[in-house]
């Protein structure tokens, strides 16, 4: 990862996760953003500093919330399953859910809420269709574990894993328009398979979708 920074990754947010960097690129300046599962708030800090966004966060882990508030970031304790219903319709331009969809209780409802309170939803998730996972399950007959899916089945908070294909299917079922999507490979780069879902689903470690209603 010490390689030359590719074009398009302009932001200095060195410690920011790859998917967050890619999400940041999708967000227009000066927009209103809600980041669900914002951790220590690095994305909202980045969006405020580089794009002048009114960015806020919700986080379930109180230690992370405290860290974010200590850094002066507008982050509140809350979670995707229970707290989105409180917001009024169209309160945000973008609602971000990064690497959290697989861990919520009701992913379908969370997506509905995101697209109710936001004009646009940005969702990233680890792809359970990756070839390594398929291979491990086929070969060992046990639940697969990789660097992305790093916890054993009895420990993982990821109760709703899905593949890129699954996610496309859900969007169709719910009538969401996929405005953009991309897969990210092991090296954290945008993978060049945006025209071939099957390939992305096989080789993409993570996926990132931008959705809007209807």
Partner 1 sequence: MAERVNSVVACRDMDTALPDIDHQRVVFDDGLTLECGQRLERLEVAYRTYGKLNAERTNAVLICHALTGDQYVAETHPVTGKPGWWEMVVGPGRPIDTERFFVICSNVIGGCMGSTGPLARRDGGEGPWGTDFPPVTVKDMVAAQRKLVGHFGIARLFAVAGGSLGGMQVLQWAANFPEMVFAAVPIATAPYHSAQNIAFNEVGRQSIFADPDWQGGRYWETGRIPARGLAVARMVAHITYLSEEALTRKFGRRVRGGQAMTAFADLFEVESYLRHQGSTFVGRFDANAYLTITRATDYFDLAEEFGGDLAAAFRGSRTRFCLISFTSDWLYPTAESRNIARALNGAAANVSFVEIASDKGHDAFLLDEPDFHRALRGFLAGCAEHAGLA
Interaction site with partner 1 (CB under 8 A)? 54, 56, 62, 65-66, 68-78, 83, 86-88, 91
Cβ nearer to partner 1, comparing 57 with 107: 57
As given in the structure block, the two tokens for residue 111 are 């997506």
CB of 41 to partner 1, least distance (A): 10
As given in the structure block, the two tokens for residue 115 are 């697209």
CB of 66 to partner 1, least distance (A): 5
DSSP strand pairing (92-98 vs 176-184): unpaired
Cβ nearer to partner 1, comparing 86 with 177: 86
CB of 115 to partner 1, least distance (A): 16
Cβ nearer to partner 1, comparing 67 with 165: 67
The beta strand positions in the chain, using DSSP E, are 32-36, 54-59, 75-77, 92-98, 118-126, 176-184, 206-213
DSSP strand pairing (206-213 vs 176-184): antiparallel
CB of 84 to partner 1, least distance (A): 9
Cβ nearer to partner 1, comparing 81 with 83: 83
Whole-angstrom Cα distance, residue 131 to residue 74?
Answer: 39
């Amino acid at each position: 990862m010490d390689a030359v920074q590719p074009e398009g990754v302009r932001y200095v947010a060195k410690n920011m996760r790859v998917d967050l960097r890619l999400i940041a690129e999708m967000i227009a300046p000066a927009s209103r953003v809600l980041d669900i599962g914002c951790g220590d708030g690095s994305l909202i800090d980045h969006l405020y500093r580089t794009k002048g966004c009114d960015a806020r966060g919700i986080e379930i882990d109180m230690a992370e919330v405290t860290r974010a508030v200590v850094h002066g970031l507008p982050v509140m304790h809350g979670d995707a399953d229970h707290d989105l219903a409180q917001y009024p319709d169209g309160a945000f331009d973008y609602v971000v859910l990064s690497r959290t969809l697989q861990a919520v209780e009701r992913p379908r409802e969370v997506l509905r809420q995101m697209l109710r309170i936001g004009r646009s939803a940005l969702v990233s998730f680890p792809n359970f269709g990756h070839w390594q996972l398929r291979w491990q399950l086929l070969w060992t007959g046990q639940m697969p574990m990789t660097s992305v899916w790093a916890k054993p089945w009895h420990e993982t908070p990821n109760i709703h894993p899905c593949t890129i294909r699954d996610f496309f299917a859900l969007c169709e079922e719910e009538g969401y328009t996929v405005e953009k999507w991309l897969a990210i490979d092991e090296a954290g780069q945008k993978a060049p398979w945006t025209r071939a879902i099957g390939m992305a689903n096989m080789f993409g470690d993570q996926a990132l979708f931008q959705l809007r209603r209807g």
